[in-house]
Structure 1
Amino acid sequence: MPAYIPLHIAEAVKTVWDRWNIRGAILFSLWLQVLLILVAPLRKSARGKFNIILIWFAYLLADAAANFAVGLISNSQRNQYDKAGHKANHKPEENSDLLAFWAPFLLLHLGGPDTITAFALEDNELWLRHFLGLGFQAGAVVYVFIQSLPNKNLWVPTLLMLVAGMIKYGERTFALYKASLDKFRDSMLKDPDAGPNYAKLMEEYDFKKKNKLPTQISSTLEPDKEAKASDIPPKTDRLKDLEVVHYAYKYFKTFKGLVVDLIFSFRERDESRDFFKRREPEDALRVIEVELNFLYGTLYTKVEVLHWKFYVGYILRFLALACVLATLGIFYFKVNKHEFRGVDIGITYTLLLGAIALDVIAIFMLIFSDRTIASIKDPERPPVWAPIYKAFLVLMRPWWKTCTCNRKYKHEPEHKLIATPLVVRRWSGSISSHNLIRYCLKGNRKSIHEFPSWWQIMFESILRFLKLYECFHDCATCICSVIEVCLSPIRKGLGKIFWFCFGKIFTYFAEDFMDEMVYVSLEPFSLDLWKFIFEELKTKSEFADTPETAKRISSARGEWALTDACEEPERGKLLRYLIEVPYDQSILLWHIATDLCYYPDDEKDRKDKKNPTGGQDGDMENPTGRQDDEKEELTYRQFSKTLSDYMLYLLVFRPTMMSAVAGIGKIRFRDTCAEAKRFFKRGGLHPNQDKKACEELLDVRTDVGPQEVKGDRSKSVLFDACMLAKELNKMQKNKWKIMSKVWVELVSYAASHCRASTHAADVSQGGELITFFWLLMAHFGLGEQFQINEGHARAKLIVGK
């Protein structure tokens, strides 16, 4: 064997690389900027893994590509001079003046687009690294410029682009600094409050006592100076689109301190609670989603820098754009371009026009951002351009589409599902679902509802605009169905190809990632579900008058739901599966029990479809009332199923959102899955036989508790959940209503005990329903954040006669 393996690269390849490495790196950097400014906003409204991965790669490569290009230019400038300082390379493709002119564009790219400054919350903590990077990269650009001197042709446009690049890079660094948690906390802290002078008062008290004067201290609460603001009653009717943004910005400024665990006064709690108690659930949802959108803009974009005090951000932004425009004018009219190659001139114009286009897009997004709309002070007497904003806000309003369930029931229930277009969504509008029995059987993903078809929504919108909806509705529905039928095999085929090519590799290296891709389904957000959640939390807030009560309510894990709905014997049997076990165990127990109760009841509703009245003589007297009861039971059953699968998804795939309460949830989940797989294999069950699996689990005798037989080495709770399901099936009425209330409390418990920074981190990944729980609970005064009483205590010394 030879001692070495000879490697040879063709001279033609080297020549192409030498000629195009700088140009390719610069164009690639510009392309990444275009990709980020257009795609980065979608991460707050799209939950897809591939979208997030694409943005992540682009975010990381953007800085790397710009730094690499600056290094190539600097190295090229150094190699153009010999030891005596004379130019050693006069090849036309390496014009030093033009390379020096390109370098500031890379500084502009390092500043990044307005739509993304940080990919994750932790990136904000690296603001000091970016500040040092600003110094080093600016120094490298200045070094390249000095190396090109005397630069008689391009030194003015180069300096103008250097100013624009410094402004953009400085904006990004300052945005990261302001969004870092320490600075974020400092910006929320008020002036130090030492309170009344206790030492002076006690000196006077002690002096009078020593002189044997009959002295006592009388104290009264000092009225809050800011209480006047809460004396104005909030609006009681439906909110207009502009008012939604105003109220959301108002409460965002008040409650953004939740992110850094600050405490609030009871005045702030009472004002917020009074406002949300008067709201319709849909209006409350609109306010909260805009409020979370403000939080996203503050932590992950340049919005706070651009709206910096005294319009400094606007001035700097237009100054940077003016520099680029002036550079384009000088280069077009004044610069002698005969010494440059045609392709280099084209690249230069591409960089200039690209920089202008990016700034114009950024300004357009800034003008129509919620932060700018919130600056319209008076909704009753808006400025002349307000109608444009109103039309835009109509598009941003949540769209609801009435749809039926995937499974056919005898009553054909209809639910309003969110159908807001992706480009104007403020969050994903979806709920992730993971199911233990389906996962163990390796079945297909299922959902209660399908997302509304975009083709159908588009056709219906056009027909309504043309006032032809009534005439051609059936035709449009048929066309949309045909399109869906044609597209569905294509999607499934691409999925099979991907799985065949990469599935085994990803499963080996990233099992959890592939499990999430294969077994986690997305459930469209239902307006009925939100109304149910809102009313439950609103009812609880009626009792939260003291900090102790609010803390006790937010720490409830189902006992409040069982208090009024169950009799004492039933309540005691169910409570031991809630408060007498760790939280993660109660999640698994109630998740499996929900499935064991869900599939038999669901199948019964489907079998009875041909006989809506149930075939009983007594029911014929009032068939409408019975149907209403069955519809209500079906609705509560779907609520329970949705929240059950969602909480298992959080427990397994989002452990950071459950880290404060989950315990050994992942171990317990795996042990339970192992026992379930063994049981299903023994019974010869196949994928998608969920109903049969539930029936066989319920047939297992559980007269003796599993732990008494198996011990506690295995953390499986499979047959403990069977015992719970049997207890639930003994309930004659309101079973599903009680279970849905229990699930709301379980989600509320996790929301209030999850780290606030985790909620803030998740708004950049499509948003989670649990974050809406968290913020709504804070607005209703449920939690531990309200610990400041009204005003100070005013103490007086009273000397008796």
Structure 2
Amino acid sequence: MSRSHYCDVWKEWELRGVVFLSLALQIVLICLGSCRKYFPYTWIKVVTWLAYLLADSVAIYAIGMISNMIREIKAGKSLSNPFTELSTFWAPFLLLHLGGPDTISAYAIEDNELWLRHSLTLVNQAGLTVYVLVMAWTHPTLSFLAILILLLGFYKYGERVWVLRAASYKYFKDSFIESPLRRKDSGKIEAECKLKREEGYDVVPHHVIDVDNEEAITINVAIAEFCSKKLSFVKESEDQGYERIVGTLLSAKRLVNISQRLFADHLFSMEERDSYLLILRGKHCARDFKVIEIELGLIYDMFYSKAKAVYTRWGFICRLTIFFSICVVLVIFSFIDKRPYSKPDLFLTFLLLGAAIFIELYALAHVLLSDQIACWLIEKKQSTVFYFITRIRSLLERRRWSNSMGQYNLMSFQKNYFRWWSFLELLHVEEMAVKFLYQCQVDVTDDVKELIMSKIKEMEARDAQEDVLDRGIHALSTHGLLDGGLKESIEGLEFDESILVWHIATELCYYLDYGWPDTTKELERNNQSRVKKKCLMCLHLSRYMLYLQYMCPSMLPFRFGSIRFRDIYKEPSKHFDLPKFTQNRPACGRNRRERKPDISEEPEIAEDRVGSVLIKGCRVAGELWGVPRGWRWSAISEVWVEMLMYGANKCKARDHARYMRGGGELITHVWLLMAHYGLTDSFLKRRPPTAEIIVNPW
């Protein structure tokens, strides 16, 4: 065989391989694109990230290969004509792949800012595909089918560009400038604006968002009226659960229209807070956390999927049109003469058509079983269809986030001696390896949620928005523990140092009480036998805050004198000897007399920041040990909840949205709950709504 023949064979199989890879990446994206919303697994993040990065590049490369092949044919270097015909037919499918699946439009929130780049890619690749079809117009039937697929691909890619643009920070923020509920004196303000314009001034009206309490009351009445209509085919035992589903969905749907503006960094009045609470405390509404889960799920779809385009009448019609169009193409292609084409090419063509139909069916099923459609059915009073959907997939019990929180335990860090450690140090990636080696996940239990809700409602009842800034002082004051070094461990330290000090103290108090569990499962068994629930909550919240500090640092306040992660994990035993510190601890048991451990011989620690934090943690543990057990763990749990609330309030809305793609974070749910109760910086404390007109000079 000649060298040119080998080149031709390589080009054929290379193109087939690249087209197949593009198709495989689309299947991965549509299947895993929504899974990362509620699964925190690392492998899902990595696979989705790789597929998202490769999908566009592979499709663009394949279109380029086809166009180069057409140029060579026109130059006289002819390949087999049947292969050219089918490969030309593949080009529009690659444009369809560039449009991406409905379940994922952006991997990270920053990808939304690249909408202009995608618009240029749309023009470029659509033009290149048109060039391929025009230059290779040989088989009339295939060419007309290719034009139909080209139009579908152009629409889907254009839709992706529009969704990315709508989710970008500037356009997302600007979309909420005008409030749907206008103020009563808006006519007067508009008249003044008009007068200034007539005088020749450049007028920029600043609209202030306001919500009438009567509107919120009307919403709750509507929820109650809808839920009171009992369905004839619903059993008496199921009626209460049905009411909870309806009330929770409608409450979340009403609140999400408000919470979107929180992510756009808008300010609200306390009067608006009262309106939110009227909705949140509806008669038929489920627990607050379930409403927040649905809200954040809807907001996630806005930032990371094509929800803004899909969940409209036009979007649904287009989905059906695309689906039936591809089915028509498949049927027509099945009747053309296939004898000139090779079996691999035919197999790949049918695979492209079948996969396109599967992707559209998957997208339609995803739409029909979504919370958005469920809310629409409730509002349109389509109770029969709604009940059927709840039978297929329970709306109240379905997963909307991971319902877990990451865990780091400072005491578990050890020096690693496995064979690859030196190699990792050489590449300077050992810190990244340690972060993934020592992290784990635990479920957010109902006890943790109830503890957080009780603290939020306590602050809201006292109208104590400023207590959020205390980050634990109020809890110590409530339990009479402001004397000694406990207050200094919070007020006298940076927030990151306070987290470390109290993390060490919490771990030591647990160790002194119950010994050191070897595994997480053993810890859970201890909880069932002798460890009080509050003690376990403290341990989980402590490790979660340490996890946030080093895995999601942007979610906590900016740290001016931050303690580096590598300073902590490198040989902590050299600085701190846990058994030595607790060698005089009392024996475990219910009837033992609690006494303070001997801390007169503090561990020998180098004079560095890590050593100082470890010593302070030991001292805090020693002071806490003198408090009765029940009182001690109650104080520790409230301190951690207040620290969590402080961190949630200080985290920017954009950062909350950024970490929703990895299964979601508990701190984001706490932040949105606090916002609904008026405990965040997004609310102006008792300031009446105002409006201003800025008159610019000529």
Cα distance 1:774–1:199, how it changes in 2: closer, same or farther (>3 A)? Answer: closer
* Structure index of larger Rg: 1
Amino acid of the structure 2 residue aligned with 1:519: Y
Match of 1:758 among 636, 641, 655: 655
1:146 and 2:134 correspond: yes
Match of 1:767 among 652, 664, 667: 664
- Deviation string 1:390-445 (CA, Å, 9 cap, x unpaired) is 22452x434xxxxxxxxxxxxxxxxxxxxxxxxx52111222111111114779xx
Residue in structure 2 matched with residue 701 of structure 1 by the alignment = 600
Q: How many residues align?
A: 634
1:578 and 2:490 correspond: yes
Q: Aligned equivalents of 1:252 and 1:507: distance in 2?
A: 49
1:64 and 2:68 correspond: no
C-alpha contact (below 8 Å) 1:578/1:586 kept by paired residues: yes
Q: Aligned equivalents of 1:663 and 1:50: distance in 2?
A: 33
Q: TM-score, normalised by structure 2?
A: 0.83
Shift of 1:16: 4.1
Q: Aligned equivalents of 1:90 and 1:701: distance in 2?
A: 87
Matches within 5 A, 1:280-359: 283-308=287-312, 311-333=313-335, 335-359=336-360
Residue in structure 1 matched with residue 451 of structure 2 by the alignment = 532
1:434 and 2:408 correspond: yes
Cα distance 1:502–1:292, how it changes in 2: closer, same or farther (>3 A)? Answer: farther
Cα distance 1:538–1:691, how it changes in 2: closer, same or farther (>3 A)? Answer: farther
Match of 2:574 among 669, 678, 698: 678
Shift of 1:280: 10
Shift of 1:275: 4.2
Q: Aligned equivalents of 1:199 and 1:81: distance in 2?
A: 65
Matches within 5 A, 1:589-738: 589-603=501-515, 634-658=532-556, 660-667=557-564, 670-671=566-567, 676-680=572-576, 694-695=582-583, 699-701=598-600, 716-732=612-628, 734-738=631-635
Shift of 1:378: 4.1
Q: Aligned equivalents of 2:52 and 2:6: distance in 1?
A: 29
Q: Which moved more, 1:632-641 or 1:128-137?
A: 632-641
Q: Alignment identity in percent?
A: 31
1:123 and 2:111 correspond: yes
Q: Aligned equivalents of 1:223 and 1:774: distance in 2?
A: 21
Amino acid of the structure 1 residue aligned with 2:213: A
Amino acid of the structure 2 residue aligned with 1:600: L
Could you list the runs of 5+ residues in structure 2 that have no partner in the other structure? 193-207, 225-239, 519-526, 586-596, 692-698
User: Per the alignment, in what secondary structure is the counterpart of residue 555 of structure 1?
Assistant: helix
1:521 and 2:440 correspond: yes
Match of 2:12 among 15, 19, 26: 19
User: Per the alignment, in what secondary structure is the counterpart of residue 89 of structure 1?
Assistant: coil
Q: Aligned equivalents of 1:38 and 1:315: distance in 2?
A: 23
Q: Aligned equivalents of 1:185 and 1:199: distance in 2?
A: 22
Cα distance 1:24–1:710, how it changes in 2: closer, same or farther (>3 A)? Answer: closer
Shift of 1:278: 6.5
Residue in structure 2 matched with residue 561 of structure 1 by the alignment = 475
Q: Which moved more, 1:522-531 or 1:119-128?
A: 522-531
1:51 and 2:44 correspond: yes
Match of 1:175 among 163, 177, 198: 163
Shift of 1:695: 4.3
Cα distance 1:693–1:162, how it changes in 2: closer, same or farther (>3 A)? Answer: farther
C-alpha contact (below 8 Å) 1:596/1:695 kept by paired residues: no
Residue in structure 2 matched with residue 107 of structure 1 by the alignment = 95
Amino acid of the structure 1 residue aligned with 2:551: F
Cα distance 1:98–1:641, how it changes in 2: closer, same or farther (>3 A)? Answer: same
User: Per the alignment, in what secondary structure is the counterpart of residue 189 of structure 1?
Assistant: coil
Shift of 1:34: 1.1
Shift of 1:655: 1.1
Residue in structure 2 matched with residue 229 of structure 1 by the alignment = 215
Amino acid of the structure 2 residue aligned with 1:565: H
Shift of 1:677: 2.6
RMSD: 3.6
Q: TM-score, normalised by structure 1?
A: 0.73
C-alpha contact (below 8 Å) 1:45/1:766 kept by paired residues: yes
Q: Aligned equivalents of 2:600 and 2:156: distance in 1?
A: 69
- Deviation string 1:659-710 (CA, Å, 9 cap, x unpaired) is x34333333x544555843135xx6xxxxxx66665489644279x99xx97
Amino acid of the structure 1 residue aligned with 2:60: N
Cα distance 1:572–1:677, how it changes in 2: closer, same or farther (>3 A)? Answer: closer
Amino acid of the structure 2 residue aligned with 1:227: N
Shift of 1:285: 1.7
C-alpha contact (below 8 Å) 2:501/2:617 kept by paired residues: yes
C-alpha contact (below 8 Å) 1:230/1:267 kept by paired residues: no
Q: Aligned equivalents of 1:263 and 1:72: distance in 2?
A: 52
Shift of 1:326: 2.5
Amino acid of the structure 1 residue aligned with 2:442: E
User: Per the alignment, in what secondary structure is the counterpart of residue 563 of structure 2?
Assistant: helix
Amino acid of the structure 1 residue aligned with 2:480: C
Residue in structure 2 matched with residue 370 of structure 1 by the alignment = 371
Shift of 1:252: 0.9
Q: Aligned equivalents of 1:66 and 1:31: distance in 2?
A: 11
C-alpha contact (below 8 Å) 2:212/2:275 kept by paired residues: no
C-alpha contact (below 8 Å) 1:272/1:779 kept by paired residues: yes
User: Per the alignment, in what secondary structure is the counterpart of residue 441 of structure 2?
Assistant: strand
Amino acid of the structure 2 residue aligned with 1:179: A
Residue in structure 2 matched with residue 89 of structure 1 by the alignment = 78
Q: Which moved more, 1:712-721 or 1:511-520?
A: 712-721
User: Per the alignment, in what secondary structure is the counterpart of residue 240 of structure 1?
Assistant: helix
C-alpha contact (below 8 Å) 1:657/1:758 kept by paired residues: yes
Shift of 1:243: 2.6
Shift of 1:649: 1.0
Match of 2:646 among 720, 733, 749: 749
1:244 and 2:248 correspond: yes
User: Per the alignment, in what secondary structure is the counterpart of residue 665 of structure 1?
Assistant: coil
Shift of 1:344: 1.8
Matches within 5 A, 1:167-206: 167-190=155-178
C-alpha contact (below 8 Å) 2:470/2:642 kept by paired residues: yes
C-alpha contact (below 8 Å) 1:503/1:514 kept by paired residues: no
Shift of 1:575: 1.1
Residue in structure 1 matched with residue 589 of structure 2 by the alignment = none
Could you list the runs of 5+ residues in structure 1 that have no partner in the other structure? 1-8, 202-221, 399-423, 444-498, 607-628, 684-689, 794-801
Amino acid of the structure 2 residue aligned with 1:318: L
Q: Which moved more, 1:643-652 or 1:153-162?
A: 153-162
- Deviation string 1:289-316 (CA, Å, 9 cap, x unpaired) is 11111011111011111124xx221222
Amino acid of the structure 2 residue aligned with 1:646: Y
- Deviation string 1:162-184 (CA, Å, 9 cap, x unpaired) is 11111111111111111111111
Q: Aligned equivalents of 2:348 and 2:664: distance in 1?
A: 40
User: Per the alignment, in what secondary structure is the counterpart of residue 128 of structure 2?
Assistant: helix
User: Per the alignment, in what secondary structure is the counterpart of residue 642 of structure 2?
Assistant: helix
